[in-house]
Amino acid sequence: MNCVVCKMGTTVLGTTTVTLERGVTVVVIRHVPAHICENCGEVYLESEASKQVMEIGEAAAKAGTVVQIQEYRAA
Ligand SMILES: [Zn+2]
């Protein structure tokens, strides 16, 4: 797909590290599958990965976790 940020690059499938903050909670999820722009580095998560990342963040926030670092696992 074409990058909507720089409108010049095309995206390639790779992995990225996602950091979420919810109040006092910080969640770092490594190796999340994503489309990454070859030109500007903008990251596009697929809807499934994005949804799962949000769920992990919500669960950590509810549990009152301060810092959580984990690997991404596909559902
Ligand atoms: Zn771009």
Residue 19 domain boundaries: 11-71
Tell me the mean pLDDT in the region 27-49: 96
Q: How many domains does the chain have?
A: 1
18 CA distance to ligand 1 centroid (A)? 18
Q: What is the DSSP letter of 75?
A: -
Is there a domain that residue 65 lies in? Answer: yes
Which pLDDT value is given to residue 1? 86
Is there a domain that residue 3 lies in? Answer: no
The domain that holds 15 is classified in CATH as 3.10.20
Q: What is the pTM of this model?
A: 0.87
44 CA distance to ligand 1 centroid (A)? 10
Complete DSSP assignment for 3-72:
-TTTSS-BEEEEEEEEEEEETTEEEEEEEEEEEEETTT--EEE-HHHHHHHHHHHHHHHHTT-SEEEEE-
Which pLDDT value is given to residue 74? 75
Is there a domain that residue 19 lies in? Answer: yes
36 CA distance to ligand 1 centroid (A)? 8
Is there a domain that residue 44 lies in? Answer: yes
Tell me the mean pLDDT in the region 13-21: 97
Is there a domain that residue 4 lies in? Answer: no
65 CA distance to ligand 1 centroid (A)? 34
Tell me the mean pLDDT in the region 43-72: 96
Is there a domain that residue 67 lies in? Answer: yes
